[in-house]
Homo-oligomer: A and B are copies of this chain.
Amino acid sequence: MKIALAQLNYHIGDLVANTTDIVLNIKKAQQFNVDLLIFSEMSVCGYPPQDMLDYPEFVKRCMESAENISRICTDIGVIIGSPTINEKKNGKNLHNSALFLHQGQIKSIHNKTLLPDYDIYDEYRYFEPSNEYNLIEFKGKKIAVAICEDLWFNQPVENSFGRNFLYSESPLDKLMKLEPDLVAGLVATPFAASRIEAKKEVYRKNAEKYGVPFFIVNQVGANNDLIFEGGSLVVNHKGEVFDRLVFFEEDFQIYELDEVTDTRAHGIKLNEKDLVDMTFQALVLGVKDYFFKLGFKKAVIGLSGGIDSAVTAVLAVRALGHRNVEALILPSRYTSEGSIEDALKLAKNLDIGYHVIEIDRLFDTFNGMLKPLFSGLPEDNTEENIQARIRSNILMAFSNKFGHILLNTSNKSESAVGYTTLYGDMSGSLSVIGDVYKTRVYEMAKYINHNKEIIPDGILSRAPSAELKENQKDSDDLPEYELLDKILFQYIELNRSAGEIKKTGADPSLVDKIISLVNKSEYKRYQSPPVLRVSEKAFGPGRKMPLVAKI
């Protein structure tokens, strides 16, 4: 039996484009006499469709697309993903389904049992869990179909609540009692640098445990804040990785079932350097798809001469091309000569268009107009924020006039502690590095420069500063980023309490201060642009903290 995996980039809601892509891949598979072709979860509509699923008309159109696709599946067997309507009178409206297409029709529907509802997932919002398990009998083989979380029953729960597993029932156990010859896995698992190996291990251990080969198809491409890395996997019945499809690109591969026995692909283990590389590639894809799927071409970035805007600019140029990125350099009296020079140098290194607009006159006009109101009061962060908001106004004016999309340049560390100005440097349609801690931003800059200096050395060596007042340094208000990021990681990613973090040796008063800053900045992050997610816990919809909470 010839089995093919189609790893495609779906556009949420664009049923015409998705159907076209799926049909083209079916035709390709037919040319190669493929018996079974597997697509990824929710392939008809793209994952995650979110509240579009609340519109009956949308679900109807998904089902019509699936039926249209089924018509060309005459000899070939094809598995696609789609929402389907729950035919029972009680329960949620929909199922998260895999549809087996053959003989020009939808031959069977296989519904997902385990519905992830944590972090960025909210599938129980839409779908009724299934409790029926059937195999596909096709050309003498018995095929089990499993959708994403159904493959993840044995995912260990990593927290201190004392749980073992997140679910009580294993869909794979049920399916295996029916003795399948292989498992077709349709997944949509978003990128998180630290999860690449863990994902592989889950699939590998399943194959080893049950002694059948697994064909896992992930989607590739970014939708909103989520980046899907592809990297679809074929694991043999011994639990060895037989092949992995490429990361961050569409791919199509064909396998002879009987030949998926030995270990073709060794050494797919990634090292730390690869993770920086993968995060870089993920972010490039994230920017690229955000623009492509919204029909935008051009970006504008405010270059400060600092490392965050520099790395963001490099990512934007890789994603969109240097002709499609423009920089505004907006110095004030507090901007150092070095910052301006480095910003200019970077723009030249990247060969992007740039304009320099000094903001002092505007700043003085604001101060003058506010003087009667503020008379006698000392300068404070008000004046700093005014500058940041003047810059935002200019960047947005450029964006409005020319149709360039403003990219946000905040990093995860400063976003965490609220070292940002709402409606100022927090502006932008997309936060490119908002899920990258400052220490990682430096790593990424070094990675970018590993062949030649793209980001001027001054940007890497200068002490971080917002340059919003005289001789300002980030370290005036914050601890060294190395230390800050360690505390933040424990609080945000590991859900540790202040007490638990202090036990790791961190300065107790510093821990309290940092956690207090994180909690007090929830109201700012609530209004943050969407953040491209590259970690296991990004700010945004995957982390819902009550704004008024007393913590």
Contacts and interface: CB of A to CB of B under 8 A. Distances in A.
B12 A546 contact: yes
A357 B497 CA distance: 46
A370 B530 CA distance: 28
Contacts of A13: 546, 549-551
Interface stretch (A31-39, A67-75, A163-171, A339-347): A163-171
A406 to B, nearest CB: 10
A355 interface: yes
Contacts of A122: 117, 122, 125, 544
A326 to B, nearest CB: 10
Nearest to A87: B162
Interface stretch (A176-184, A361-369, A460-468): A361-369
Contact of A11 (B12, B89, B548): B548
Interface in A357-403: 357, 361-362, 365-366, 369-370, 373-374, 377, 380-382, 385-386, 389-390, 392-394, 396-398, 400-401
Contact of A163 (B90, B168, B362, B427): B90
Contacts of A369: 357, 361-362, 394
B523 A526 contact: no
Contacts of A164: 89-90
Residue in A497, A500, A544, A551 with the greatest tally of chain B CB atoms within 10 Å: A544
Contact of A125 (B94, B118, B499): B118
A550 B12 contact: yes
A380 B400 contact: yes
A355 B373 contact: yes
B93 A50 contact: no
Interface stretch (A51-59, A268-276, A411-419): A51-59
A149 to B, nearest CB: 13
Contact of A526 (B159, B394, B529): B529
Nearest to A14: B550
A294 interface: yes
A346 to B, nearest CB: 20
A288 B59 CA distance: 41
27 contacts: A17-B550, A48-B546, A50-B544, A50-B546, A56-B161, A57-B496, A85-B161, A86-B161, A88-B168, A90-B163, A91-B167, A93-B159, A118-B125, A124-B124, A294-B547, A362-B362, A366-B397, A381-B400, A382-B401, A385-B400, A386-B397, A389-B396, A392-B423, A393-B393, A396-B422, A396-B423, A527-B529
Given A91-B166, A386-B393, A390-B393, 6 more contacts: A11-B548, A49-B546, A49-B549, A90-B166, A91-B165, A91-B167
Q: Which 9 A-B pairs have the closest CB atoms?
A: A57-B497, A14-B550, A13-B549, A293-B548, A382-B400, A93-B161, A124-B124, A423-B423, A389-B393
Interface of A: 11-14, 17, 48-52, 54-59, 85-86, 88-94, 115, 117-118, 122, 124-125, 157, 159-168, 222-224, 289-290, 293-294, 355, 357, 361-362, 365-366, 369-370, 373-374, 377, 380-382, 385-386, 389-390, 392-394, 396-398, 400-401, 422-423, 427, 429, 495-497, 499-500, 523, 526-530, 541, 543-551
